[in-house]
């Protein structure tokens, strides 16, 4: 029975002494020190030294010129799409296989998500299939990409780096250039992932990160916009600070803004987590290599590896069942979770959600195949340390 074999592999690899979460954060550095300092300062809201420091740390680590810290990754996507020119009634191309925030951020602008198929190599958006699709359904009018079927402008495309596996960005950027599309990278899951030596989220004009509690680096909740465009970063900071006009004492706002700035107390946690990030990445890679070796001899199962030329942060490790074993996916999920080892399927495809069923979509043969075969494995950065302790006891 495949489910039983996978359970035993997980037990042998992780050596659990109790329940194992899908992705549990690790707080073993300066988190308590920085949080106490933040509390002692009384600057716990959206103004404080830790917000500035966290933004500087993010920019330095990713190689972006600027980072703008906000309350969550969805807010970062919302503002990045707005600054990319997306307006009500536009269409935005997003992968069908993604977390719901990618599509929701489009909807917040009263724009229309337009769903795109995936490729198996990265689990992300397929540039080749997207290019072929746009050749059939779109045309350039007045410098804009127009959907011939709906008459709406297709304004942007949002590649999402699934589980930290980088999308083929070179190919996608060529498609975007050919069809006059803005590109916003959804790198919410990809902090620490590299595409041919460049950090995910820095390959287009804007990219976004997430620091939710289950991310590699967490601020409890939080996100950031990355960009090399200084003027754009300043504009993002202004809009996410309720468009407040700087003044020593007067409170005035010059346009519709958003109360999206990251609080100082969250940024304090993030600064400590950023100090630990290089070590987290080493441990995540060690866990991925252990999984790869453990599953290498199991027929009908393939460990999902980083695309060629890329370095994944392996945020969520995953196995891909062979097509003829896909019917066993739910048995695997049920058995492993019953034994305290949390596994998870991929997300429900976006056009299968009730609020998005009427949205435009290309045919999705690859995404539909992948979603029935993916199983995510426990992936926290502390799991290898835990396995070593249990193995030595």
Q: How far apart are the first and last CA of the chain?
A: 30
Q: Are 16 and 341 in contact (CB under 8 A)?
A: yes
The whole-number pLDDT of residue 390 equals 64
Q: In what order do the strands lie in the sheet with 301-303?
A: 301-303, 318-321, 374-376
- Residues of the chain whose pLDDT is less than 50? none
DSSP per-residue letters across 198-249: EETTSSSSEEEEE--TTSSS--SS-EEEEES-HHHHHHHHHHHBTTBPP-SS
Summarize pLDDT for 290-308 with one digit per residue, the tens.
999 999 999 999 999 999 9
Report the CATH number at residue 189.
3.40.640.10
Percentage of the chain exceeding pLDDT 90 = 95
Task: Let me know whether 42 and 183 are in one domain.
Answer: yes
Three-class SS of residue 63?
A: coil
Angle at alpha carbon of residue 281, lines to 279 and 287, rounded to 5°: 105
Q: Are residue 185 and residue 302 in the same domain, yes or no?
A: no
Total length of the chain = 393
User: Would you state the pLDDT for residue 23?
Assistant: 97
- Same structural domain, 268 and 296: no
At residue 88, the pLDDT reads 98
Residues 164, 270: one domain? yes
Give the pLDDT score at 300. 97
For residue 38, report the phi and psi dihedrals to the nearest 5 degrees. Answer: -65, -45
| Residue 266: per-residue pLDDT | 98
Q: Of 241, 256, 274, which residue sits at a domain end?
A: 274
Q: Shortest CA distance to 78 belongs to which of 43, 106, 41?
A: 106
Give, as one character, the DSSP assignment of residue 124.
S
Same domain, 149 and 37: yes
What confidence score (pLDDT) does residue 384 get? Answer: 83
- Report the candidate in 343, 340, 348, 317 with the shortest Cα–Cα distance to residue 332: 343
- The pLDDT score that the predictor gives to residue 245 is 93
- How far is 174 from 286, CA to CA, in rounded Å? 34
User: Which tokens hold the place of 342?
Assistant: 């949390």
How many other β-carbons are positioned within 10 Å of the β-carbon of residue 30?
A: 17
Q: Within a 13 Å sphere around the CA of 352, how many CA atoms are in the beta-carbon half?
A: 13
Regarding whether 191 and 289 lie in a shared domain, the answer is: no
Question: Which two structure tokens, joined as six digits, stand for 10?
Answer: 């997980």
In angstroms, rounded to a whole number, what is the distance separating the alpha carbons of residues 38 and 278? 24
Range of the domain at 206: 31-274
Query: What's the Rg (C-alpha) of the chain?
Result: 21
List the one residue out of 251, 243, 343, 260 whose CA is nearest residue 51.
Answer: 260
Q: Which of 274, 302, 322 is the last residue of a domain?
A: 274
Same-domain check for residues 267 and 303:
no
CATH number of the domain residue 322 falls in: 3.90.1150.10
Residues 284 and 334 in one domain: yes
371-389, pLDDT tens digit by residue?
A: 999 999 999 999 988 766 6
Q: What is the pLDDT of residue 389?
A: 65
Say if residue 193 is in the same domain as residue 285: no
Cα gap 154→140, rounded to integer Å? 10
Q: How confident is the model over 171-226, as pLDDT tens digits?
A: 999 999 999 999 999 999 999 999 999 999 999 999 999 999 999 999 999 999 99
Q: Same structural domain for residues 8 and 138?
A: no
Residue whose C-alpha is closest to residue 92's, from 73, 114, 107: 114
Reading the block at residue 47, the tokens are 């103004």
pLDDT at 157: 98
Q: How many domains does the chain divide into? A: 2
Element holding 94 (H helix, E strand)? strand 91-95
On whether both 238 and 378 belong to a single domain, the answer is: no
Give yes or no: residues 310 and 374 share one domain: yes
Q: Which of 216, 247, 274 is the last residue of a domain?
A: 274
């Amino acid at each position: 029975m495949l489910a039983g074999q996978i359970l035993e592999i997980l037990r042998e690899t992780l050596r659990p002494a109790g329940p194992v979460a899908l992705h549990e954060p690790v707080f073993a550095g300066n988190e308590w020190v920085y949080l106490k300092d933040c509390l002692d300062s009384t600057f716990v809201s959206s103004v404080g030294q830790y917000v500035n420091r966290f933004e500087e740390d993010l920019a330095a680590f990713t190689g972006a010129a600027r980072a703008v810290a906000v309350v969550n990754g969805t807010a970062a996507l919302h503002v990045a799409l707005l600054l990319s020119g997306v307006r009500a009634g536009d269409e935005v191309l997003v992968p069908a296989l993604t977390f719901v925030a990618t599509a929701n951020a489009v909807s917040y602008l009263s724009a229309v998500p337009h769903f795109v198929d995936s490729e198996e190599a990265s689990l992300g958006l397929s540039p080749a299939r997207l290019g072929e699709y746009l050749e059939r359904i779109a045309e350039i009018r007045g410098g804009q990409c127009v959907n011939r079927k709906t008459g709406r402008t297709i304004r942007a495309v949002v590649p999402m780096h699934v589980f930290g596996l980088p999308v083929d960005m070179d190919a996608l950027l060529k498609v975007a250039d050919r069809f006059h599309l803005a590109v916003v990278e959804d790198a919410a899951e990809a902090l620490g992932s590299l595409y041919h030596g460049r950090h995910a989220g820095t390959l287009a004009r804007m990219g976004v990160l997430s620091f939710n509690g289950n991310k590699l680096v967490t601020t409890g909740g939080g996100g950031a916009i990355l960009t090399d465009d200084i003027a754009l970063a300043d504009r993002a900071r202004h809009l996410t600070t309720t468009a407040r006009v700087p003044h020593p004492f007067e409170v005035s706002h010059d346009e519709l803004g958003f109360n999206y700035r990251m609080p100082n107390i969250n940024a304090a946690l993030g600064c400590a987590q950023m100090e630990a990030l290089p070590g987290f990445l080493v441990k995540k890679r060690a866990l991925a290599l252990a999984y790869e070796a453990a599953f290498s001899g199991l027929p009908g199962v393939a460990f999902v590896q980083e695309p060629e030329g890329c370095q994944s942060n392996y945020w969520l490790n995953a196995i891909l069942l062979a097509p003829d074993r896909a019917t066993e996916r739910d048995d695997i999920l049920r058995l492993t979770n019953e034994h305290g080892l949390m596994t998870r399927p991929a997300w429900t495809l976006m056009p299968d959600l009730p609020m998005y069923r009427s949205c435009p979509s290309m045919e999705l043969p690859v995404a539909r195949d992948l979603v029935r075969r993916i199983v995510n494995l426990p992936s926290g950065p502390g799991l290898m340390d835990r396995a070593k302790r249990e193995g030595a006891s």
